[in-house]
Amino acid sequence: CEPLCCLFPERLQLSLSGGITFSVDLKNIEETLIAMAEKGNLCDWKEQERKAAISSRINLGIAQAGVTAIDDAIKNKIAAKVIENTNLKNAAFEPNYAQSSVTQIVYSCLFKNEILMNMLEESSSHGLLCLNELTEYVALQVHNSLFSEDLSSLVETTKNEAHYQS
């Protein structure tokens, strides 16, 4: 399995509504991930993290589809179809995963950024909602760097498949 070093960009340039542009320093996120991964087996961690990232985005797509009464069997059927349609090689799905550790770390690091929190508070009455959306975006970019795969269409693809299956 590949090491974690050298996979991250140093900064991520972001644009908020209202023409506000700023960059997020990813060094703290990278250091936290490396330290966490070094505590255990890196390959096992990456395998679990990939499963959590894929599963949580599929579960988010199912939730956003607004389809009621979806049991684990239907979730698994939707996930299998989505994984096949998005060409995710050797991907596994866990119906109960809601968030990856990368997402948790990104949220924690962004929440501690006072400048960012002040900007979100000033630019929106929904600062926490914006923080959640920003966290998802940054976590997706981090995942894409870690695994050299793009999960950006996963939620939308899942929503479409959930509507088709219902």
Query: Is a pLDDT exceeding 90 seen at residue 77?
Result: yes
Q: For 126-165, write each residue's pLDDT tens digit.
A: 555 577 788 888 888 888 888 888 898 999 999 999 998 8
- The verdict on pTM exceeding 0.75 is yes
Topology of the domain comprising 11-165? SopE-like GEF fold (1.10.4120)
Q: For 32-76, write each residue's pLDDT tens digit.
A: 777 877 787 777 888 898 999 999 999 999 999 998 888 999 999
Domain boundaries, the chain: 11-165
Rounded-to-integer distance, Cα 29 and Cα 67, Å: 35
Residue type at 85?
N
Please give the average per-residue pLDDT across 97-124, as a whole number: 79
Instruction: Note the pLDDT of residue 96.
Output: 92
Question: Please, which residues have CB within 8 angstroms of residue 89's CB and are 6 or more apart in sequence?
Answer: none
Query: Is a pLDDT exceeding 60 seen at residue 5?
Result: no
Instruction: Note the pLDDT of residue 88.
Output: 92
Rounded-to-integer distance, Cα 31 and Cα 39, Å: 13
